[in-house]
Structure 1
Amino acid sequence: MQKWFSLSEIKRLIGSLYSLMGLRKKADREAWQSRPRKAIGGGLEYHIFSLPQEIQHAMKIKTSNEKIQALESKPAGRLGSVEGAKLQIKEKAEKTVNKNLRLEGMLKADCLDDLAKRRMNAKLEIIKLWEEFEKSSTEGKTASQYLFCCAYNHGQIEVADSVKDVISTISQSSLMMWIKQARNEGIVRLAGKYGNRKKTGVFYANQQLNDFIVAMFKQYPHCCAKQVWRGICANMQRFEIESAPSLRTVARFMDDWKRDNMAEYELMKNPDKYRGKLMPAFGNASQGIDRYLQLWETDSTPTDVMLKDGRHTIIGVIDVASRRPKVFISKTSNSVAVGLLMRRAIIDWGVPDCVKTDNGTDYVSRHITELFKSLEIEQSLCPPFTPQAKPHIERFFGTFTREFLELVPGYIGHSVPDRVDIEQRKSFAERITRGKEKDVDALPELTAVELQRQCDEWIENVYLKTPHSGLNGKAPIDFIADWINSGKPVHRITDPMSIQALDYLLAEVPGNKGIRNITKNGIRVDTFNFIAPELAVHIGAQVRVKYDPFNAGYINVYWLDGEVLCVAQCPEITGVSRAELAQVATAKSKQLQSEQRKKHKSVMRSMKPKNVGKEILQHYKDMPGRYIGPENVIEYNSPALQQAADQVGAIEAMSEPLTVDEINASAHKVTPEQEKLMAEIIDLEERKKANAEREKEEKKARAARYEEMLAANFEGISEDDDKWRRYWETSAEGRTHIRMKNFDAEPWPIINAR
């Protein structure tokens, strides 16, 4: 039996059911199973079982007819066997097709909507009632069907109201058709073929139109149907269409596309929301993490609470195995603030095996990386723009915001819509009068210290005691208690000297990564000179310094390889205590995704929706307009205008010619146009002078930037700074600067003058 057919062979077998072009579009749209055709001409051939049932049915009937014709061409002596073969082939084909249709109908019946199911069930109930009626009838089949339909229409047959509501009357022809459809095509055929024209419109037949709308969604996610329709009207020749679809058709297709491609549209409109709502999350980020202090996750987020000293940032850390969190309230987030949070967590909990952070500058700074390296803690960096790589701290921040921060005085909302909702809680009159009278409720009530205390209390008394789904319903405090009470080891820092050493590791470094030169005046840090007897024999050497975490008058001095040199002090400020400082900088972005992005870029390149505004304008400019001919002008006049004209004429007649002196004097007057030109010349000279001064200052700034890098021996500079340095050294300005500097450094020759 032949199983693979080309489109030409299928067209020959099914006749006029589909055109060759219609078959090709249907094969592409429904993704029929295909393979390359080995015969001459190439192309594709399709497996018969991947074709729709109606096409299979038509092909089998055609094949049966061809077989019958072949049998009929044989000698007349075999006429009886031919006739028998005809019947056998027809019956076999019809039984096979009807069986497949019934099986397909049973599968499709479960996918029907409510209205279609009601129609199908009502017709099935009527067929069942007819079969019972036929058994008790003494008339022939045709007469019985007629009597049954009359009895049903006059309400003489008891039937459920649900059936009568759907089908109030029936005819004999309808009853016969339903019975035949149920027997040959399955029960799903009784539901009717409503909606078979879906996805057959112009946007599905013309791929360019489809791609144009997808490109518009990508470039302008919130575009309306009228804008898209005007873009189509401006590009009809490009899309090879004679007339544009109606505005309603465009709007209907846009709504259908958004509904059928909800995830793709959300990715175009809001990638962050797509990642949170629609991106698959089938895995388990805590799989394999079963030990206390095995893995920590840390991140930063705005507090969403307005404090007396402004808005602050929350830096958080969570132990993945126990879900134990700790937060630190800081004005901003930098490496110093992250280090202080690590200090609190290490002293209170213990030393972790690994800490997972993002790629923000506050987490990958030398200060933090050296801290982890000194404590032999592994630092795991998440890929850029992937907050889902550290889901536990992200989920804690969500819970922390919803269950705690929203109840804190001064909560301003997590987003602009949240803030608007908070403002809408007051009536319009209250919002208007708030500008005249100070709103006491809107003033911040808490300081950063007070908020820190409340956060710590909520974590210790609420969060740790609440059952957690990630711990199979166990509370975090119970997990910690079970771990500690079982005698399992916990690496802690309890010795006072070790805690003091930890504080020195966490000490902040000055600018330029703490690298300084020892001069004859000592070490210069923050406009102060720090001195020590040990520095006297190392003048000119480079060292790295750190602030003393407890006294602002001292600094710790190290060699560049980390070896301790000494402790230097500033006599002017010795003994002044140094307060804890914290600064924060959060960095969150996103990654883009995937095959959808590549497809969108391809469509964008081909459709170029950025130019649709110009195309629409040009399309309307090219449209033929209504010609306006010359006007039939009638001179307008009034008594007042006539009187004024007479006065003007009299004045002109009375005016005398100018004398020669007056003419010569007027010739030397400067016209307004000449004054304007002179002002422009003066302004141009002033701008040239200002540009020259600015260029001079910029050259000085570039030279100072290079000298600052040179002073650090180009160590620790970023990749961008290194690229700029190499480019500047090869430029004319840089070569001149270096040549002049070397010239100044060379000793002047001694000239003996007599």
Structure 2
Amino acid sequence: MEDGNKTRWYLTAAICTTTRCILAMKFSRAESSRSAVQAIDMIVRDKGLWTDAVGTLTPWSMSGTPELIVTDAGSGFTDFDTRAAATDLGINIIAGPAGMPEFRGTMERMFGTLASSFISRFTGRTFSNTVVKGDYDSDARAALTSEELSEALVRWVVDVYHRRPHAGLGGETPLNCWNRLVEKYGVAPMPCLERRRMALGTRMKYTVTKKGISILGIRYHSEALAHWFMHARKTEVRVRWYSDDLGAIAVELDGRWVEIPSVLACYRGRCAQTWLMAEREIRASRAAEAKVGEEIIAKTMNHIVAMNGNAMTRQKLFVPDYSAERLQSLNEKMLIGFEIEDSPRDPIVPSGDDGLGMDLPTGHPRSARSSAAGTDSTEEAAAYGLPNPDDDWSIEDK
């Protein structure tokens, strides 16, 4: 149940066929490429944050980059975004024949164990067919909330399934099998944050302005983006936006992908869910203010994480909709009239005297005004990361 209404959830899961360890679980309202991509994201990451949130007695450290992922023929796995995400991480992905579950026997058997050993303990369960269901009224008996289901499932997988002797492993537990083989052979390392952002982030296009790129009210800018904007004929660029870290985005500039940080440092390491909750709280409490500063944003997000961190982590088992279409909708509707005040420190690029563009340094002597004020053009260039005006340089090599 969710908000008092009965709902049906679909589970996307991944299992290691060698050790029988569960590597990913994601709940979604319907099969989609988002659930498949986020399941891949969970495969390659350490899952300690989920176990900490629900208080398991056993670690869930199984992670790494697999060589091959075999899926069913569902639309979520055959979608271009899913296959592109796996390929970008260096993972081969293939789909088994449709209508032949025996080709995915390990995963199908795990779902059977999940149904008989876990789901059967709760009221409101569904059945594989109407003959098995009989006159059991699943809708009338549904009582478990989605958050309770996710917490119970993590506890069962980590503390029960992984620690129980498995017939397919000759009586060894999946946990012991994983630890033994990792100690003997090792495991392919997890991809870094930058690579996950590129491979798993939402793919969209944005227009660059003199203020940079703004997504969900967060402004992203850098010296590299400013210099590109000065000479660009077309200002629309391809972007990768990763919901688990709002501290930067990946932008394609002249065929090369560049990491562009957020102007405000308080977004680094923060997920989209935390920021959207903070935005609602700030809007409600400071409706009369035209702009909100970095300190207020940082304190609000820290408060939300401290107060509701475990609950938000448990919700990470559910697939949020951060598609390009929804992000566009949030930009247009949710953040209307909500402006974030940039810190007066560390400007990206100094403006020209007319407020437009920037004054490029030249080899001419400093003006009398700058000399009288004691301003060193070399120091000024260094402060903004600009070329030394006393050096020979050109646009091409800078």
Q: TM-score range by the shorter chain?
A: 0.5 to 0.7
Aligned to 2:283: none
User: Structure 1 residues 468 and 307 mapped into 2: Cα distance closer, same or farther (>3 Å)?
Assistant: farther
Judge conservation of contact 1:306–1:410 (CA < 8 Å) in 2: no
1:578 aligns with 2:272: yes
User: Structure 1 residues 550 and 386 mapped into 2: Cα distance closer, same or farther (>3 Å)?
Assistant: same
User: Structure 1 residues 320 and 538 mapped into 2: Cα distance closer, same or farther (>3 Å)?
Assistant: same
Aligned-partner Cα distance in 2 for 1:406–1:526: 42
1:543 aligns with 2:237: yes
- The count of aligned residue pairs is 254
1:452 aligns with 2:150: yes
User: Structure 1 residues 372 and 334 mapped into 2: Cα distance closer, same or farther (>3 Å)?
Assistant: same
User: Structure 1 residues 491 and 558 mapped into 2: Cα distance closer, same or farther (>3 Å)?
Assistant: same
Deviations 1:527-565 (CA, angstroms, capped at 9, x unpaired): 99976524343241553112242466864312485x224
Aligned to 1:501: 194
Question: Superposition pairs for residues 537-686 of structure 1, below 5 Å?
Answer: 537-550=231-244, 555-559=249-253, 561=255, 563-565=256-258, 567=260, 577-579=271-273, 582=319
Deviation of 1:411 (Å): 1.9
- Three-state SS of the structure 2 residue aligned to 1:362 is helix
Aligned-partner Cα distance in 2 for 1:559–1:366: 23
User: Structure 1 residues 307 and 401 mapped into 2: Cα distance closer, same or farther (>3 Å)?
Assistant: farther
User: Structure 1 residues 566 and 313 mapped into 2: Cα distance closer, same or farther (>3 Å)?
Assistant: same
Aligned-partner Cα distance in 2 for 1:508–1:399: 33
Aligned to 2:17: 320
Aligned-partner Cα distance in 2 for 1:344–1:556: 20
More helix by share: 1
User: Structure 1 residues 552 and 475 mapped into 2: Cα distance closer, same or farther (>3 Å)?
Assistant: closer
Q: TM-score, normalised by structure 2?
A: 0.52
Judge conservation of contact 1:557–1:568 (CA < 8 Å) in 2: no
Aligned-partner Cα distance in 2 for 1:536–1:483: 54
Aligned-partner Cα distance in 1 for 2:121–2:89: 38
User: Structure 1 residues 471 and 365 mapped into 2: Cα distance closer, same or farther (>3 Å)?
Assistant: same
CA RMSD of aligned residues (A): 3.9
Aligned-partner Cα distance in 2 for 1:529–1:489: 41
Q: Find the structure with the greater CA-based Rg.
A: 1
User: Structure 1 residues 369 and 415 mapped into 2: Cα distance closer, same or farther (>3 Å)?
Assistant: same
Aligned to 1:82: none
Letter in 1 for 2:197: Y
Letter in 1 for 2:37: G
Deviation of 1:391 (Å): 1.6
Deviation of 1:475 (Å): 3.0
Letter in 2 for 1:354: L
Deviation of 1:523 (Å): 5.8
User: Structure 1 residues 528 and 352 mapped into 2: Cα distance closer, same or farther (>3 Å)?
Assistant: closer
Structure 1: segments with no counterpart, 5+ residues:
1-304, 425-438, 585-754
Judge conservation of contact 1:358–1:381 (CA < 8 Å) in 2: yes
Deviation of 1:323 (Å): 1.4
Structure 2: segments with no counterpart, 5+ residues:
46-60, 274-315, 322-398
Aligned-partner Cα distance in 1 for 2:219–2:159: 49
- Three-state SS of the structure 2 residue aligned to 1:564 is strand
Judge conservation of contact 2:165–2:172 (CA < 8 Å) in 1: yes
Judge conservation of contact 1:320–1:392 (CA < 8 Å) in 2: yes
Match among 43, 46, 53 for residue 345 of structure 1: 43
Deviation of 1:479 (Å): 2.4
Aligned-partner Cα distance in 2 for 1:522–1:389: 49
- Three-state SS of the structure 2 residue aligned to 1:422 is coil
Aligned to 1:330: 28
Match among 154, 162, 174 for residue 464 of structure 1: 162
User: Structure 1 residues 461 and 524 mapped into 2: Cα distance closer, same or farther (>3 Å)?
Assistant: closer
Question: Superposition pairs for residues 251-290 of structure 1, below 5 Å?
Answer: none
Deviations 1:334-357 (CA, angstroms, capped at 9, x unpaired): 333333332333233222221112
1:388 aligns with 2:105: no
Judge conservation of contact 1:551–1:577 (CA < 8 Å) in 2: yes
Match among 104, 114, 117 for residue 400 of structure 1: 114
Q: TM-score, normalised by structure 1?
A: 0.29
Aligned-partner Cα distance in 2 for 1:368–1:560: 25
Aligned-partner Cα distance in 2 for 1:319–1:551: 27
Judge conservation of contact 1:332–1:583 (CA < 8 Å) in 2: no
Deviations 1:134-189 (CA, angstroms, capped at 9, x unpaired): xxxxxxxxxxxxxxxxxxxxxxxxxxxxxxxxxxxxxxxxxxxxxxxxxxxxxxxx
Letter in 2 for 1:556: A
Match among 181, 187, 190 for residue 490 of structure 1: 187
Aligned to 2:93: 379
Aligned to 1:475: 173
- Three-state SS of the structure 1 residue aligned to 2:81 is helix
Question: Superposition pairs for residues 148-227 of structure 1, below 5 Å?
Answer: none
